[in-house]
Amino acid sequence: MKYDSLEPNHYATMIKESGLTIYDAIEIGDPDLWIPTPELEHLLNTEMQGLSLTGLPLRTRSKVVKEHVCRALGYPVPASFKKTQPRFQGQFFDTYVQKSNNLQVWNEELAPSRRYVIIRLNDEDIVVKVKVVTGDTLAMLDTTGTLTQKYQARLNPGEAELELISNKDTELLRRFVRPTLDLAAVASPVNQPQADQLLPIGEIFDRLESLVGKSFADSGYDQERNRGAALHRLVCQSLGYADYRDDGQFPDVRHQLLEVKLQTSPTIDLGLVCPNSTEALDVPMIEGRQIRHCDVRYALFYAFTNGQDVTLTKLFLTTGEDFFTRFPQFQGKVLNKKLQIPLPAGFFDD
């Protein structure tokens, strides 16, 4: 993967030099000490793949994994691990060692911005892959009803095919946008956002509006992830990127702080994070300013499917800040205490 921010090893070096422990707080987006989710995943994969846990009791296995995570990230290994939530408080994540695809989260609700480090073992108890996701991403993976999406909104399509709900970006983001930009020459869709590499929301709208009326193959009503990937590919092309990348992190097109949603029904599932939230987003600071969830741009495509093809019929584009001015919000039931989340096929694939 191509990185437009610091190389993952830089973070481990800076953490080691800082003398911080896994319990010391770090501000989200700190350019030297907070490891963004994609870089965290890359670093743990590099350092932990091939680690053998063969023959270890479950409790010992858990401790050995956490010790290796400490070393991989540059932290000193504590004599014993405190029973904190989450265990790695500074980087705000927990670790889960998985041989099966049934992820269990005990005695706590999913936190939207908490990271979940999921470590995959093969039949010989050797680490083969590490996947890092946030709580809001995990909430979207459940298909069994064990989890109920906390936040939802209602899309009333209206008559217009095209609606630019927010004429301007949030005040914080406006200082970093650049009207003319050749994205093919700049970056990949999964790179971290940077000053002067962000298109204004109006320009994004202009580049995406031609997608209305286009169709792509329908992979099936139970294949929402694949449907979304097909739309994501079209969006990347229309924005002008040279390639298509999707690492499953929020927002979908991280480089443009753009979340893409495909709607074949009026109910918009939002997971655990309200779009207008002012909480910090897990991206590096831009010129010393921390991007928030409300700064993210949301492209909602309303679509019709005949079972064979999905046809895009409408486009709505808004900032998270303005999201609920157009799409009324309602709230689902509270999550269960013991959460069992089936990880879908391909979850550990690149």
User: What pLDDT, on a 0 to 100 scale, did the predictor assign at position 112?
Assistant: 76
Grade residue 149 by pLDDT with cuts at 50, 70 and 90. low
Predicted TM-score (pTM) of this structure: 0.84
- 296-337 per-position pLDDT tens digit: 999 999 999 988 899 999 999 999 999 999 999 875 544 444
Amino acid at 170: T
3-state DSSP call for residue 54? coil
pLDDT of 2 over the 90 cut: no
Amino acid at 27: E
The pair of structure tokens assigned to 182 is 């050749």
User: What pLDDT, on a 0 to 100 scale, did the predictor assign at position 333?
Assistant: 47
pLDDT of 187 over the 90 cut: no
User: What pLDDT, on a 0 to 100 scale, did the predictor assign at position 62?
Assistant: 92
Grade residue 15 by pLDDT with cuts at 50, 70 and 90. very high
Q: Where are the beta strands (DSSP E) in 65-177?
A: 93-98, 102-105, 115-121, 127-134, 151-154, 162-164
Interatomic CA distance for residues 164 and 207, integer angstroms: 12
User: What pLDDT, on a 0 to 100 scale, did the predictor assign at position 151?
Assistant: 80
Q: Taking residues 53-57, what's their average pLDDT?
A: 93
% pLDDT > 70, the chain: 90
- 104-143 per-position pLDDT tens digit: 776 566 777 789 999 999 999 999 999 999 888 887 776 6
Grade residue 146 by pLDDT with cuts at 50, 70 and 90. low
User: What pLDDT, on a 0 to 100 scale, did the predictor assign at position 207?
Assistant: 98
Q: Taking residues 28-45, what's their average pLDDT?
A: 94
Q: Which of 21-25, 157-161, 270-274 has the lowest mean pLDDT?
A: 270-274
**Chain position carrying tokens 């909480």:** 279
User: How many Cα atoms are found within 13 Å in the side-chain-facing hemisphere of 349?
Assistant: 5
